[in-house]
Amino acid sequence: MAEKFAVNDYVIYGKSGLCFIKEIKKMRMANGPLSEYYILNSATGNAVTIYVPCDKENLVAKMRRPLTKNEIDEILEEAKGLQINWIDNNNERADYFKKITDSDNYRDWILLVSCMHIKKTEKLANGKHLSSKDESTLKLLEKLIEDEFCYSLNLDRNQISEYIQNKLNIC
């Protein structure tokens, strides 16, 4: 059974990130039946509205409450000392990175972001850049992590990287 949410609750909705529930109301979409919908608005400044039918468990299951500070700290503790190694083969790397980004495993997201930053720094030192696919993966994960961590930790976006680095004992 899917969790019940209320108006003004903050939720994470799939890869859309942090949203708040603006309304719960009965509506008819595309000549379909009258159904109750969660109406989500992005909480991060994007003018995005998402309609989630309350009776579609597979879609409601994409909604979850944001992580707590304790849960974030536990994830960072788990990640301490671990790393993901860069894969040189583009296709293998793309498949592996997609597997990670499709999961909701924050520990692996953080390790992947760290791996990508290391590779980005190496490439920039040699006058090169990450591929556009790698760069878009990095930006997506950074946004998802920063949005949720800002909300849960009550920190500004520019403080999140330092918080993570301090918890992981990296500088």
Whether residue 1 is predicted with pLDDT greater than 60 in this model: the reply is no
* Tokens coding 38: 């969660």
| pLDDT digits 0-9 by tens, 129-138 | 999 999 999 9
**In Å, what is the CA distance from 46 to each residue of 42, 66, 142?**
6, 18, 16
Q: What is the DSSP letter of 160?
A: H
- In whole angstroms, what is the distance from residue 52 CA to residue 58 CA? 10
Overall average pLDDT of the 75-99 stretch: 94
